[in-house]
Chain A
Amino acid sequence: MVKLIVDGKEIKADEGRSVLQSCIENGMFIPNMCFIKKRQHPPASCRLCFVEIDGFDPPVTSCTEEVREGLVIRTDTAAVRRLQRTAFKLLMSAHHCEPKHCPVKGNCQLIRIAKHLNVGLTPKPLELLERDVEEEVDFAFFTYYPFRCVLCGKCVYICRQINGHNLLTFANRGFDTVIAFFGSGDPARFPCHRCGACASICPTGALVRKPECKRASGVTP
């Protein structure tokens, strides 16, 4: 156990843990989209979990920062908030938020972050971006909605973790990056166990299971 100070409060954390996980376990929320608890190498891709560590000038991502004894951390400085708000607005400029049709019932992580950052769900002053992709993509046992996806990568990770290979992957580059599903021909022969973990872990409702697919137990966003 090590002790560290977060926003003036002392908390205890297991050695080797990330700052982000320790804060969350101590009931202190830090915005995050790509963080998975037991994941070895965090992808650090959503760029929401910034904090300031005393002695390090620019904000750093808390999911990649290991706790150390005596660490002094601030989660709400102006620099931290500025980066978090920009990152959030960037995500919302590519995530088309349509509450009426959204399968994420309550508990939406994006709404939670918006509240925490004290911003709305619109990307303003950024424009809402269009992408040259289908509204819906058929993934055999799932339907993928690119305009909801924030590319947190959780589905890709969990599939590999559970099945040992990647049925889901990132495809294309830059702003055109999407999640793609490997498999063509007869769906019965796909090496997919239809465990449904990917749809269960998806925080945005971008991966939705079809009726023939199982509901993974113990997997949540």
Chain B
Amino acid sequence: MNKDDLTERFASILRRADRRARERRNEAIPTIYIVMSTCGLASGAAETKQAFEEALSDKDIGARIVPVGCLGHCYAEPLVVIDHPATGFPPICYHQVTVARARRLVRSYLEKGDPVFEYVLGALEENDLIPAVTDFARFNLEQRLVMEHCGRIDPDDIYQYIAAGGYSGLVKALCLEPEELIDEIETSGLRGRGGAGFPAGRKWRLASTAKADGKIIICNGDEGDPGAYMDRTILESNPHQLLEGLAICAYAVGADQAIVYVRAEYPLAVKTIKGAIKSAEGVALLGSTILGTTFSLNVSVFQGSGAFVCGEETALIQSIEGKRGMPQHRPPYPVEKGLWGRPTVVNNVKTLSSVPPIIKNGTEWFRGSGTETSPGTAIFSVVGNVKHPGLVEIAMGTSLRTLIFDVCGGIPNKKSFKAVQIGGPSGGCLPESFLDTPIDFDSLTQAGAMMGSGGMVVMDEDSCMVDVARYFIDFTQKESCGKCTFCRIGTRHLLNILDRITNGEGSEQDLELLGTLSEDIKLGSLCGLGETAPNPVLTSLRYFLDEYEAHIKENRCPAHKCRALTAFYIDLEKCARGCEVCVGCCPVEAIFTTRGRKKAIDQKLCVKCGECAVVCPPEYDAVLKVSPPELAPTLERTPDGK
């Protein structure tokens, strides 16, 4: 491979990218960056964009609108960054930019230079005029290695990625021998971000030494965990970094074909990655004879139809082969015999996206973040009861406490923390005593949870842990492929038992069965789905046994969540004589008037929807919820009482 030739070719692409970036800056007109990934669109970013366009043309103001990917601050969506150099202000980030706010921003900031402080989230650069976003824990505790450019560049413009340093990792890689490249990834200590944390370098080496032609790289973007959207964000916000990683991996293992597996429910991600492949091929960064070298890589996109189990690598391969997505016994592992029997590397979106910065900045740089055995960063989508839900990238080894309370703002509504479910539906629920656990592959597994693909659900005091376990088992038993006995039938038994317990019909024998069956399913299942499905049950049994026992022995749900174990009643002391607010809201006419012209609930009719508790005026706050239901005082309905 002629290195000079290669670097010269890339230099000319880079010059073009730089020229375009310079031209943009020199135009000196304001730029409006609008977050237009799926999360932004769901919050109304398309309407916001239209409002900007209309307001700009009404006022006849010249400004450029650039759609960008996700910054990860989902609580603040639609998010807009306005760079208005003429005012002397740095680029400013605005939160919740609705249509009305968009019009106001055009009127006040773009026309008159007043940055409308009440909408400002923060300035993107340190300055003397406006507090910078880096003053917030949410921004400064994050470490963006993989998502550095997400939300800052137009994902549909390859030159913006190149101007930001993109594809120089590939150029550097092509100047190395494949062997050296694998050594580099191995010393970096990069571990797979798809869940199991398998060392990426070792996987690549196994594939590179396999003696067969037509090796294949598959990027796993199936992402089936409910509530997880890290991979989608990367695909939508910076597809080129993934493609660059894919190309480096293919060169290292000697593959000439790559497939990006994306679920069809991610239409924007599919469109973005397809567009990105085309534009990379257009400048010879992908396709045949990349940058004039002998290395060629044909990249295609495969749309999965969204079964959770198809994220499992052998099921994923089956589904590409046109078969039913059922996991296969390993060995043989895909690196020996994968897609169409050929050696196949399956890596997660985040794993491959980590590769370019590692090659570009070196292994020392990468190892500078994270821990000895889990270097680098972890990307989590934090949802549930936190003030600032969204996508965060933090150094491995950060404690759960820092992530939940500092980065994500803690628990809202003055509630207290109860548990955190880590690793998606098959992860574990950890209680407060584990908040100082460092987030890395080994510590989480040791605690009974797992890194998984990075879904995290935070739960406050109002969550019932039995109900939570039931929720996750319900998901996994539905998503079981149905192939093997333990997972297909065993998880259904777990669900039935949990149903019984949350309905107040559980027995002590059920509790015992729950534990032993969970252990057997874990040991006996064929694939990772069954092997991990009982985790929510096992961890909640381990850390919240008292809640199970309260359900079974006392007919009581400590969180007042399980309907069969709770009851509503009206405190006659608090109820205001003559007030009728709750009567009309009850869907089953269970509320009647007592002799003292107060209200009471007929327990036989009540369906426990809780509407009366919602509508009862806060100054009375007379509707109370109790568990066990026997605690509710019963008032007989008098024949004349309505």
Contact = CB atoms under 8 A, between A and B. Distances in A.
Interface of A: 41-48, 50, 58-59, 61, 64, 82-83, 86-87, 90-91, 93-94, 125-127, 129, 150-151, 153, 169-170, 172-177
Given A169-B324, A173-B479, A47 B485 contact: yes
Interface in B447-482: 477-482
Given A44-B329, A48-B485, 4 more contacts: A83-B523, A86-B517, A93-B489, A175-B491
10 contacts: A82-B520, A83-B524, A127-B496, A129-B492, A170-B324, A170-B482, A170-B483, A175-B477, A175-B492, A177-B483
A44 to B, nearest CB: 4
A91 B492 CA distance: 12
Nearest to A94: B489
A90 B490 CA distance: 6
Contacts of A43: 329, 483
B502 interface: no
A41 B331 CA distance: 10
Interface in B82-99: none
B134 interface: no
A91 B329 CA distance: 20
Contacts of A151: 482-483, 488
What are the 4 A-B residue pairs with the smallest beta carbon separation, nearest first?
A177-B482, A175-B492, A90-B489, A174-B480
B486 interface: yes
Contact of A46 (B484, B496, B525): B484
Nearest to A59: B523
Given A91-B489, A127-B496, A174 B524 contact: no
B638 interface: no
Contacts of A47: 484-486, 524-526
Contact of B482 (A50, A126, A172): A172
A90 B486 CA distance: 7
B478 A86 contact: no
Contacts of B513: 125-126
A132 to B, nearest CB: 12
Contact of B478 (A45, A48, A126, A174): A174
Contacts of B481: 173-174, 177
Contacts of A129: 489, 492-493, 496
Interface of B: 307, 324, 326, 328-329, 477-486, 488-493, 496, 509, 513, 516-517, 520, 523-526
A191 B393 CA distance: 55
A45 B523 contact: no
Select the residue from A58, A61, A90, A94 with max chain B CB neighbours within 10 A. A90
Contacts of A48: 485
Given A47-B485, A87-B524, A125-B509, A41 B329 contact: yes
A170 to B, nearest CB: 6
Contacts of A86: 486, 490, 516-517, 520, 524
B277 to A, nearest CB: 32
Contacts of B496: 127, 129
Contacts of A172: 482
Given A47-B524, A151-B482, A169-B324, A175 B489 contact: yes
B498 to A, nearest CB: 13
A59 B486 CA distance: 14
A173 B480 contact: yes
A50 B485 CA distance: 13
Contacts of B525: 47
B326 A170 contact: yes
Contacts of B484: 44-47
Contacts of B488: 151, 174-175, 177
Contacts of B491: 174-175
B224 to A, nearest CB: 13
Nearest to B509: A125
Nearest to A170: B324
B485 A41 contact: no
A48 B516 CA distance: 17
B523 A175 contact: no
Contacts of A64: 329
A127 B483 CA distance: 21
B482 A90 contact: no
A166 to B, nearest CB: 9
Given A47-B524, A82-B520, A42 B485 contact: no
Contacts of A150: 485
Contacts of A41: 328-329
Contacts of B526: 44-45, 47
Nearest to B512: A125
A86 B521 CA distance: 9
Q: Which of B484, B489, B517 has the most CB of A within 10 A?
A: B489
A169 B481 CA distance: 13
A174 B324 contact: no
A175 B480 contact: yes
A191 to B, nearest CB: 18
A91 B486 CA distance: 9
Contacts of A93: 489, 493
Contacts of B516: 86
A64 B453 CA distance: 29
Contacts of B492: 129, 174-175
A5 to B, nearest CB: 23
A169 B516 CA distance: 33
Contacts of B493: 90, 93, 126-127, 129
A125 B512 CA distance: 11
Contact of B486 (A58, A87, A174): A87
A129 B480 CA distance: 17
Contacts of A42: 329
B148 to A, nearest CB: 39
Contacts of A177: 481-483, 488
Nearest to B483: A45
Contacts of B480: 173-175
A150 to B, nearest CB: 8
B317 to A, nearest CB: 13
Contacts of B478: 173-174
A88 B307 CA distance: 28
A130 to B, nearest CB: 10
Nearest to A85: B520
B479 A174 contact: yes
A194 to B, nearest CB: 25
Residue with the greatest number of chain B CB neighbours at <10 A, chosen from A41, A45, A46, A177: A45
A150 B488 CA distance: 11
Contacts of B477: 174-175
Contact of A173 (B329, B482, B517): B482
A149 B517 CA distance: 22
A59 to B, nearest CB: 7
A117 to B, nearest CB: 14
B307 A173 contact: yes
A26 to B, nearest CB: 23
Contact of B485 (A59, A90, A176): A90
Nearest to A88: B485
Given A90-B490, A125-B509, A46 B485 contact: yes
A149 to B, nearest CB: 11
A87 B485 contact: yes
Contact of A174 (B482, B509, B517): B482
B512 to A, nearest CB: 9
Contacts of A91: 485, 489
A125 B507 CA distance: 12
A201 B64 CA distance: 69
Nearest to B309: A173
Nearest to A44: B329
B312 to A, nearest CB: 14
